[in-house]
Amino acid sequence: MKVVILRGGAGKRRSTDRSRSDTADSGVCAVGCGDQWALVNVSAAVAHSLDCADPTHGWPGLNDAKVRAIVLTDAQLEHAGGLLGLRRGAPIDLYATPAVFEDLSTHLPVLPALQHYCGVHWRVIPVSGDQRVGSFQVEGLPTLEFTAIATRTAPWPHALEQRAPVVGESIALAVHDHATGRSVFCATGMAMPGPEEQAWLRNSDCVLLDEPDAAPAARQGWIEWLDGLPARHKVVLARATLPEPHWLARRGIAFASDGMEIDL
């Protein structure tokens, strides 16, 4: 299994305004085996990058697949806004929870538009209501088992109404490769993980996490917690005020960069 961080050059244009989620472009990656891939989220910058890329370079199968598999962790603009940028390509197999499908059909209605272009196959991730954890497989990746874990985040700016949190609006994603026994845990926009997420994190070989938006003392505690995880690969997806990379590198913690590859 391989993980590739995709940012479409967004890291060079990152905003310093933490009230905006521009850094969430870093929450886009691809997980795959051989020449088969699943995109985890797709920002506008990444969609543009894939559209312009030469299919003979980079990662075979990522931007010239007959069917493109995309897994969404939520419906926020920075994670789903690139869907329309892929409208001229192959059909999309879209894996998302019922809450995310609802948001992308109403509050941010990109799915009705896409149906008139490339077409979208709905693949429902079973996380909703009382079901907070659900496993699924992505077609073309038979050795990989994906597990979605419900998380909580603030309402998206494009939400048209204030409502109580809905299970499945946001998920963390665990991917286990049965061929190698290795696993990845990816959580974008999640604050300090709770007991359930902690269990997944401690059993993962690679963790991809956003830096929490917290006071300096709490952030330092988060760094110490991250340092204590047994994972071989620890990648910070979005960064604001963490210490210098060399300081963290000595502790096995790296900052995400466009095109970063992690082999597992």
Q: Compute CA distances 35 → 205, 221, 238, whole Å.
A: 22, 39, 27
Helices (H), the chain: 44-52, 77-80, 98-105, 110-114, 195-202, 216-227, 245-249
Q: What is the number of structural domains in the chain?
A: 1
Tokens 């409502």 sit at which residue? 163
What pLDDT does 12 receive?
Answer: 42
Q: Supply the pLDDT for residue 257.
A: 87
| Structural domain of 239 | 2-263
What is the structure's pLDDT at 18?
37
- Tens of pLDDT along the chain (264 residues) come to 999 999 886 444 333 343 333 444 557 899 999 889 999 999 999 888 887 876 656 788 887 777 899 999 999 888 999 999 999 888 999 999 999 999 999 988 999 999 999 999 999 999 999 999 999 999 999 999 999 999 987 666 666 566 678 899 999 999 999 999 999 999 987 756 788 888 999 999 999 998 777 677 777 788 888 889 999 999 988 765 555 667 677 778 888 888 899 999
Q: Among residues 125, 149, 148, 146, which one has the least CA distance to residue 137?
A: 146
For the whole model, what pTM was predicted? 0.89
Q: Return the CA Rg of the chain.
A: 17
Q: What is the pLDDT of residue 17?
A: 40
CATH number, domain at 152? 3.60.15.10
Q: Report pLDDT for 5.
A: 92
According to the model, what pLDDT value does residue 13 have? 39
Q: What is the pLDDT of residue 73?
A: 95
How far are the Cα atoms of 42, 131, 158, 164 from residue 39, in angstroms, in the given order? 7, 24, 23, 29
As a whole number of angstroms, the distance between CA 197 and CA 176 comes to: 15
